[in-house]
Amino acid sequence: MLNKYARAFFTRVLTPFAAFLLRRGVSPDAVTLIGTAGVVAGALVFFPRGEFFWGTIVITLFVFSDLVDGNMARQAGISSRWGAFLDSTLDRVADGAVFGGFALWYAGKGDDNVMCAVAIFCLASGQVVSYTKARGESIGLPVAVNGLVERAERLVVSLVAAGLAGLHGFGVPGIQVLLPIALWVVAAGSAVTLGQRVVTVRREAAEADAAGGAGSVGGADAAGGARGSEAT
């Protein structure tokens, strides 16, 4: 939902910055790599130590690279399958680092095994939600559903809550409870979204089988098997 309405706005805002980088000879792939490195560093350096405010600040500074690199590619007319693959792959790396950082905190100084498990579920379910759409599309289905909680929602809810929870270190009482609440919300929303996509793929597959015969879909499935690792 956020992806649908916010992406166009931020794309317009970031277009001048993308043009500036292109004039300086920076490539979209370089922005993708630097942005991912910044998110990973912010998540795995600060979050496991409970420094949620500063970790969120660092991650926020780099997370917009996901919009900038695509904007640059379109302006330069160099959009490619490789760029799309790299961007989607590194998105998974960044997401894993964010929720992995939460899990490391709860497994260590946070001392909460239940919340550690919830953070791990958020990490795993986010990857699977992305995979279901990519895998469905790889066998020729439209997967015409977005779902309740997509990547944008997972990151916004988690990072806003983490940043606010980090204010506890500045003397704001009780606010640290926001992070566990946010992780439970993301976990539940991801489970619902996964269910929505699985149901959609099952329906679309049945319709495709009925319209074209199971043989053509089976062939697509065999051809797509080698591409399963390209989930986005």
39 annotated binding-site participant: no
Residue 171, sorted as left (phi over 0), alpha (psi -120 to 50) or beta, turns out to be left
Q: Is 30 annotated as a binding residue?
A: yes
66 labelled binding-site residue: yes
Q: Answer yes or no: is 32 a known binding residue.
A: yes
Do the Cβ atoms of 48 and 108 come closer than 8 Å? yes
* The pair of three-digit structure tokens given for residue 219, joined into one six-digit string: 């062939």
Q: Do 75 and 23 touch, CB atoms closer than 8 A?
A: no
Check whether 136 is labelled as a binding-site residue. no
Choosing from 91, 95, 209, 221, the catalytic residue is 91
CA-to-CA dists, residue 99 to 81, 94, 166, 170, angstroms: 28, 9, 16, 23
User: Is 80 annotated among the ligand-binding residues?
Assistant: yes
Active site residue 91: yes
Q: What is the largest CA-CA distance in the chain?
A: 64
Q: Find all residues with CB under 8 Å of 227, minimum gap 6, and list them.
A: 138
Of 141, 47, 151, nearest to 90 by C-alpha is 151
Q: How far apart, in Å, are the Cα atoms of 195 and each of 139, 146, 148?
A: 19, 11, 10
Taking the C-alpha atoms of 179, 183, 185 and 190 in order, what is their torsion angle to the nearest 10 degrees?
160
- Which residues fall in the annotated binding site for Mg(2+)? 66, 69, 87, 91
Residues forming the active site: 91
- Which residues fall in the annotated binding site for a CDP-1,2-diacyl-sn-glycerol? 29-32, 70, 74, 80
